Structure 1
Amino acid sequence: MPVVYPESQIRHFSEELAKLLDREDDLTIAFLTREFRKAETSELVRHSLVRRLFTLKHAIQRTFQILPPQETAPTGDMLMDATSHLQTFVINVFGAIDNLARIWCMEADIRKPNGTPLKPMAIGLTPGHAPVRASLSQPFQDYLASADAWFDYLEDYRHALAHRIPLYIPPRQLNDEESAEFERLEQEIAQAKNDYERYGVLRGQQHSLGIFNPLMMHSFSEQASPVYLHPQMICDLSTVVEIGEHMLGEIDVLPPP
Structure 2
Amino acid sequence: MSMVYPESQIHHFLEELAKLLDREDNLTIAFLTREFRKPETSELVRHGLVRRLLTLTHATQRTFEILTPWETAPTHDMLMDATSHLHTFVINIFGAIDNLARIWCMEADIRKPNGTPLKPMSIGLTPTHVLVRASLSQPFQDYLASADAWFAYLENYRHALAHRVPLYIPPRQLTAEESAEFERLEQEIAQAKNDYQRYGVLRGQQQRLGIFNPLIMHSYREQARPVYLHPQMICDLLTVIEIGEHMRRELDGLPPP
Which ranges in structure 1 are unaligned for 5 or more consecutive residues?
Answer: none
Task: Summarize the alignment of residues 122-141 of structure 1 with structure 2, pairs less than 5 Å apart.
Answer: 122-141=122-141
Encode CA deviations 1:5-47: one digit per residue, 9 max, x unaligned: 0010000001000001000000000000000011000000000
Question: How many angstroms does 1:195 deviate by?
Answer: 1.8
Q: 1:198, 1:122 → 2: CA distance?
A: 60
| Equivalent position of 1:20 in the other structure | 20
| Equivalent position of 1:224 in the other structure | 224
| Equivalent position of 1:166 in the other structure | 166
| Equivalent position of 1:111 in the other structure | 111
Question: How many angstroms does 1:189 deviate by?
Answer: 1.2
Question: How many angstroms does 1:193 deviate by?
Answer: 2.7
Q: 1:221, 1:206 → 2: CA distance?
A: 24
Task: Summarize the alignment of residues 104-253 of structure 1 with structure 2, pairs less than 5 Å apart.
Answer: 104-253=104-253
Q: 1:227, 1:164 → 2: CA distance?
A: 18
| Equivalent position of 1:60 in the other structure | 60
Q: 1:197, 1:104 → 2: CA distance?
A: 64
SS in 1 for 2:2: coil
Q: 2:256, 2:92 → 1: CA distance?
A: 31
Question: How many angstroms does 1:116 deviate by?
Answer: 0.8
Q: Give the residue type in structure 2 aligned to 1:178.
A: E
Q: CA RMSD in A?
A: 0.7
| Equivalent position of 1:74 in the other structure | 74
| Equivalent position of 1:42 in the other structure | 42
Q: 1:252, 1:24 → 2: CA distance?
A: 18
| Equivalent position of 1:31 in the other structure | 31
Q: 1:15, 1:256 → 2: CA distance?
A: 37
Question: How many angstroms does 1:202 deviate by?
Answer: 1.1
SS in 1 for 2:232: helix
Quote the sequence identity (%): 85
Q: Give the residue type in structure 2 aligned to 1:172.
A: R
Q: 2:67, 2:193 → 1: CA distance?
A: 35
Question: How many angstroms does 1:244 deviate by?
Answer: 0.2
| Equivalent position of 2:5 in the other structure | 5
Encode CA deviations 1:163-217: one digit per residue, 9 max, x unaligned: 0011100000000110110010011111113222222211111100000001011
Q: Give the residue type in structure 2 aligned to 1:117.
A: P
Q: 2:231, 2:247 → 1: CA distance?
A: 24
Moved over 4 A (4+): none
SS in 1 for 2:74: coil
Query: Which of 192-201 and 220-229 deviates more?
Result: 192-201
Question: How many angstroms does 1:126 deviate by?
Answer: 0.3
Question: How many angstroms does 1:151 deviate by?
Answer: 0.2
Compute the TM-score of the two structures, normalised by the length of structure 2.
Answer: 0.99
Q: 2:81, 2:194 → 1: CA distance?
A: 32
Q: 2:204, 2:128 → 1: CA distance?
A: 48
Q: 2:244, 2:64 → 1: CA distance?
A: 23
Q: 2:172, 2:247 → 1: CA distance?
A: 41
Q: 1:204, 1:103 → 2: CA distance?
A: 54
Which ranges in structure 2 are unaligned for 5 or more consecutive residues?
Answer: none
Q: 2:225, 2:89 → 1: CA distance?
A: 19
